[in-house]
Chain A
Amino acid sequence: MPGDLKDGRIVIVGASLAGLRAAEALREEGFTGSLTVVGDEPHPPYDRPPLSKQVLLGQATADTTGLPMRRDPDAEWRLGVRATGVDLLAKQVLLEGGESLPYDRLLIATGTRARPWPDQEEGALDGVFTLRTREDAGGLAERLAAGPERVLVIGGGFTGSEIASACRERGLEVTVAERGPAPLVGALGGTLSKLAAAMQRNHGVDLRTGVTVTALRGNGSFTGAELSDGSRVDADVCVVALGAIRNVEWLAESGLAAGPRGIACDAGCRAFNMYGIVTDDVFVAGDVSRFPHPLFGYQMLSLEHWGNAVEQAKVAAHNMVNPGPLQHPHLAVPSFWSTQFGLNIKSVGVPTYSDHVVIAQGSLEARRLAMVYGYQGRVTAAVTVDMAKSLDYYRHLIETAAPFPPPPGAQDRAIAADIAVPSDVPDPSGLSHGPIVALTGHLPDRRLSVVQPTR
């Protein structure tokens, strides 16, 4: 009976943005049953975008980024508690310490964590940081406020670039080491990454590209790093910004389709099991999910975007308490933003799902532009630099699969608007950090067979 869906026991694993928004949405949808939210961090849900911006600049402290609750989700919060597994048959979430939580429906929103420096000993040197949690940001902000001689940032993705920007704004010397040809190249492709490189150098960043960091040095405290080109960077703070790892290990024995690329689900956020069969009581939302998107060839997408966590949480919550025919698909056009070196960068669509780009408005020289990405003759993404108000227009072109290059007539139309150049999206394996949009479809590399459940 549909009415039953509004009642019963729902467990949400993951107490960050997606978990909180889903909990709120469940109540908005009329869910009256018991709701439990499990999170391994001891804090109530907090917001991460300020951690690499305002917090590092000293404009806010790490403990002030708590997410506002739009309504009290009337949930039992199990914070500081790690989930260790799911028993799909018995419908139980297993917690550390042996406790188990029964559920009627389960939402997995465990997100990602920072990829640590591969050498554990080197990564443990004092002065070496990653940036993902409140504690990370608080510790790093404190260290930056103390005025280090030089900061080494490993990885020129969005997190690394924002950290470098914050350092320069504080007047600190900073070196960025990026394995790819330019910062942000993995997310934005070749042309815009040139602007990103120019911005970093103009703002006094010591930008090293095409190099990897081979070793971190120090005796207890970090003192410098060795690079693959034989050079050495002397620095007293190091931030490892090598992208994120999806928090899926706890599901290894669950039988869900959970792997390094995330947990696969359908367009309605319903998780697949390891054979691609959809479950009807396990849902996924946020960074940890990967889902098929019709605008991008139904490729499985994995997005580390604030907006995706919010949208997907809403859809998942709706579908958890409504019967099949009333369920919603998650069709939101991906979008993200970043501020760095005084620039406002906003993206819609999936820039990496492209073969060509044009500068539709503005110019690289003006540092104000709209770059439109196309794949096989249709518009699939747009990135604006200090031109965010045009973004809705390009979103519409993406949603309607408009032909690429976009039609003429735009104000501030660049001469380059008709000249499509290769989008120059690199193979993610050539970057030091993971892409924040991953197309996760892949070919099977071994013969498939069914392993029968033991029970």
Chain B
Amino acid sequence: MPSETLLARITDYASRPNPYPLYAELREAGPVVQQADGSYLVGTYHEIASLLHDPRMSADPRSRGEVTHKPPFLRLDDPEHHRLRTLAMRPFGPPHNPGRVDAMRGEIDRITKELMESFEAGRQIDVVDDFAYPLPVTVICRLLGVPHEDEPLFRAWSDALVAAADVRPEQDTTETDKAGDQARIEMGGYLVNLAEQRRGKPSDDMLSAFVNEPDPALRLTQEELAETAVLLLIAGHETTVNLITNGVLTLLRQPEHLDQLRRDPDLLPRVVEELLRYEPPVHMRERIPLADMDIAGTPIAQGAPVVLVLASGNRDPRRFHDPERFDPTRPDNEHLGFGSGIHVCYGAPLARIEAQAALGALLPHLGTARLVQDPPPYRQNAMLRGPRHLPIQL
């Protein structure tokens, strides 16, 4: 049966430039498709949305008996997840800091302008290295309070951690897992050390806020601080770089939409929402059932890995009209680009502002730009999907 190898075919690097035909095949095969290794793929919108809201689906690898350290809140269940996510939200968003992200607009615009200073007509640039990567890194460094000059340091850790988090069926992952663990420990130690330097000497960043929290009941332990800070730093840039790059690629591939956007920049927020549906940075999330259960008529055993293919749900014709079409004027666009349920993307408001600022600033350059290589070379990762480089001629 071809479905037995679907996950392997999806994660095969050769599929990276265009996994969407495989997602269509997945949806054809049924809402829940068992793989040869015992895992399940779910690729239809309504089933994914329902599982993301199902309190019986665990995000914690320990639910499957995996012996590991206590994960960051992204991979914890309630009530522990709720406690840590709430504490992490205090210096970042509502209700305690409702204006924090919005107040960064000006700074994000300034960083964007700085990055574009060297962009001249006729020059070739790499959208990833010259723009889409440095922007979110600079932003998350400012927000967390991490010195930007340490970027090479955490870039290596980040690469190792993201590689370890990928979905890789039928592969020996011992080495990548070990490297990921090592990176996590080193990066956590580095961030805790940075935070400790601010104890009693708070500056206006999140690490300062974490260590200087006056209420003892609302303080993170050192281990929790390390996990949370690592998560925020990595998630704060690994995803946005793909969103921006995918955005540039999509617009250059669809000149009519680029023209439309150049004529009407007010469409930008909707372009970004449609990108999150059409070319989302996060393609898959894994969940683990805490009990034997039944999903759309398929019985699933407790502990079996269930891979929710968010990017496939985003193109489910039972949910979206003409889903393979990029349409920023789509009236009803409740995409799964940020997930849904209790783990819905923590950084979504920041990601939206960054992507809107980045694409808005690039717009004047894109009218005459052309893709040097299509498809561009992609990153290895199937779960966090995006081009490794995107050379364009200005």
Interface residues in chain A, defined as those with a beta carbon under 8 Å from any beta carbon in chain B? 361-362, 366, 368, 370, 387, 389-393, 396, 407-413
- Nearest residue, chain B, Cβ from A361: B55
9 residue pairs of the A-B complex, CB under 8 angstroms, read A368-B82, A370-B55, A387-B78, A389-B342, A392-B49, A392-B50, A393-B53, A407-B293, A411-B81
Q: Are A409's CB and B56's CB within 8 A? A: yes
CA distance A389 to B82 in the complex (A): 11
Judge whether B302 is part of the interface by a CB distance below 8 angstroms.
yes
Are the C-beta atoms of A411 and B56 separated by less than 8 Å? yes
Tell me which residues across on chain B come within 8 A of A362, comparing CB atoms.
Answer: 78-79
| Contacts known (A389-B342, A393-B50, A407-B56); A412 close to B291, Cβ less than 8 A | no
- On whether the beta carbons of A392 and B293 are closer than 8 Å, the reply is no
- Docked Cα-Cα span, A393 to B78, in Å, equals 15
Q: What are the nearest 5 A-B pairs in CB distance?
A: A409-B291, A410-B55, A412-B78, A392-B53, A411-B77
In the assembled complex, the CB of B217 is this many whole angstroms from the nearest CB of chain A, namely: 13
User: Interface readout for B24-58 with A: 1 if CB under 8 Å, 0 if not?
Assistant: 00000000000000000000000001100111101
Which of chain B's residues 283-302 have a Cβ closer than 8 Å to chain A?
289-293, 302
A412→B50 contact, CB < 8 A: no
Bound: A336/B81 CA distance, A: 26
Given contacts A370-B55, A410-B55, A411-B56, 8 further A-B contacts (CB under 8 A): A366-B79, A392-B53, A396-B50, A409-B292, A409-B293, A409-B302, A410-B290, A412-B78
Q: In the complex, A411 Cα to B50 Cα: how many Å? A: 15
- Cβ of A257 to closest chain B Cβ, rounded Å: 36
| Beta-carbon contact of B78 and A361 below 8 Å | yes
Knowing A362-B79, A389-B341, the reply to whether A409 touches B53 (Cβ < 8 A) is no
Contact yes or no, A412 B55, CB < 8 A: yes
List of A residues within 8 angstroms of B50 by Cβ: 392-393, 396
Q: A361 to chain B: which residues have CB within 8 Å?
A: 55, 78
Q: Contact at B53–A390, with CB atoms within 8 Å?
A: yes
Chain B residue at minimal CB-CB distance from A395: B53
Chain A: CB-nearest residue to B59: A411
**Least distance between B10 CB and chain A CB atoms (Å):** 27
Contacts of B55 in A (CB 8 A): 361, 370, 390, 393, 410-413
Question: Which residues does chain B contribute within 8 Å of A390, judged by CB atoms?
Answer: 53, 55, 342
Instruction: State whether B53 touches A412 (Cβ < 8 A).
Output: no
Interface residues of B in 53-87 (CB under 8 A from A): 53-56, 58, 77-79, 81-82
Report the separation of the CA atoms of residues A387 and B82 in the bound assembly, to the nearest whole angstrom.
10
Cα(A389)–Cα(B53), bound, Å: 6
In the assembled complex, which residues on chain A have CB atoms less than 8 Å from the CB atom of B58? Answer: 411
The digit string for B365-379, where 1 denotes a CB below 8 A from any CB of A, is: 000000000000000
Given that A368-B82, A393-B53 are contacting pairs, would A407 and B291 also be in contact in the complex, using a CB cutoff of 8 Å?
yes
Q: Which of chain A's residues have a CB closer than 8 A to the CB of B79?
A: 362, 366, 368, 411-412
Chain A residue numbers with a CB within 8 Å of B81 are 411
Contact of B77 among A370, A407, A412 (CB under 8 A): A412
A366 (CB) vs chain B CBs: closest residue = B79
Q: Which of A361, A370, A389, A390 has the most CB of B within 10 A?
A: A389
* Residues of chain B lying within 8 A (CB to CB) of residue A408: 291
Given the complex, which residues of B lie within 8 Å of A412, measured CB to CB?
55, 77-79, 82
Bin the interface of chain B by size. 20 to 34
Q: Across the interface, which residues of B come within 8 angstroms of A407, CB to CB?
A: 56, 291, 293
A409 to chain B, nearest CB (A): 3
Q: What residues on B are CB-neighbors of A368 within 8 Å?
A: 79, 82
User: Smallest CB–CB gap between B87 and chain A, Å?
Assistant: 14
The answer to whether B56 and A410 touch across the interface, beta carbons within 8 angstroms, is yes
A392 to B81, CA, bound (A): 19
Q: Is the pair B290, A409 in contact by a Cβ cutoff of 8 Å?
A: yes
Measured CA separation A393–B342 after assembly (Å) = 12
Residue of B78, B290, B302, B344 with most partner-chain A CB within 10 A: B78
Contacts of B53 in A (CB 8 A): 389-393
* A interface footprint on B199-234 (CB within 8 Å = 1, 0 otherwise): 000000000000000000000000000000000000
1/0 contact trace for B277-318 toward A, CB 8 Å?
000000000000111110000000010000000000000000
Contact A393 B291 (CB under 8 A): no
Complex contacts, B291 vs chain A, CB 8 Å? 407-409
Minimum CB–CB distance for A343 against chain B, Å: 13
A-side contacts of B77, CB under 8 Å: 411-412
Contact call B341/A411, Cβ cutoff below 8 A: no
Assembly CA distance A411 to B342 (angstroms)? 11
Point out the residues of chain B lying under 8 angstroms from A366, CB to CB: 79
- The listed residue (B49, B78, B292, B293) touching A411 by CB distance below 8 A is B78
Question: How far is A444 from B293 in the complex, measured between Cα atoms in Å?
Answer: 46
Q: Note all chain B residues with C-beta closer than 8 A to A411.
A: 55-56, 58, 77-79, 81, 290
Give the one of A370, A396, A411, A413 with max B CB within 10 A.
A411
CA distance A394 to B53 in the complex (A): 9
What's the least CB distance linking A70 to chain B, in Å?
10
Alpha-carbon distance between A366 and B81 when the two chains are bound, in angstroms: 14
How far is B79's CA from A413's CA once the two chains are assembled, in angstroms? 9
CA–CA, A368 and B85, complex, Å: 15
Closest to B302 in A: A409
Closest to A391 in B: B53
Whole-angstrom distance between the alpha carbons of A413 and B63 in the complex? 14
Q: Which residues of A contact B49 (CB under 8 A)?
A: 392
Q: How far is the CA of A431 from the CA of B237 in the complex (A)?
A: 55
In Å, the complex CA distance between A57 and B194 comes to 41
**CB under 8 Å from chain A, chain B span 166-192:** none
With a 10 A CB-CB cut-off, give which of A361, A368, A410 has the most chain B CB atoms. A410
Which residue of A is nearest B78, CB measured? A412
Can you name the residue of chain B whose Cβ is closest to the Cβ of A407?
Answer: B291
State in angstroms the CA–CA spacing of A412 and B54 once bound together. Answer: 12
Bound-state CA distance A407–B57 (Å) is: 13
CB-CB < 8 A to A410: which residues of B? 55-56, 290
Name which of B49, B292, B342, B344 has the most chain A CB atoms within 10 A of its CB: B342
Q: Which residues of A have CB within 8 Å of B344?
A: 389
Name the residue of chain A whose CB is nearest to the CB of B63.
Answer: A411
Q: What's the nearest-Cβ distance from chain A to residue B81, in Å?
A: 8
Q: Which of B54, B55, B82, B341 has the most CB of A within 10 A?
A: B55
Alpha-carbon distance A362/B79, docked complex (angstroms): 8
CB distance from B273 to the nearest CB of A (A): 17
**Distance, CA A396 to CA B295, complexed state (A):** 12
B113–chain A nearest beta-carbon distance, Å: 34
B268 to chain A, nearest CB (A): 21
CA distance A396 to B296 in the complex (A): 12
- CB-CB under 8 A from B290, the residues of chain A are 409-411
A393 to B55 Cα, complex, angstroms:
7
Chain A residues with CB below 8 A from B293, complex form:
407, 409
Closest chain B residue to A396 by CB distance? B50
- Give the residue of B78, B82, B289 whose beta carbon is less than 8 angstroms from that of A409: B289
Nearest Cβ in chain B — how far from A125, in angstroms? 38
Residues of A within 8 A of B341 (CB): 389, 392
A413 neighbours in B (Cβ, 8 Å): 55
Q: Which residue of A lies closest to B291 (CB)?
A: A409
Chain B hits for A389, CB < 8 A? 53, 341-342, 344
Complex Cα distance A407/B290, Å? Answer: 11
A370 to B82, CA, bound (A): 14
Bound form: Cα–Cα A396–B49 in Å: 12
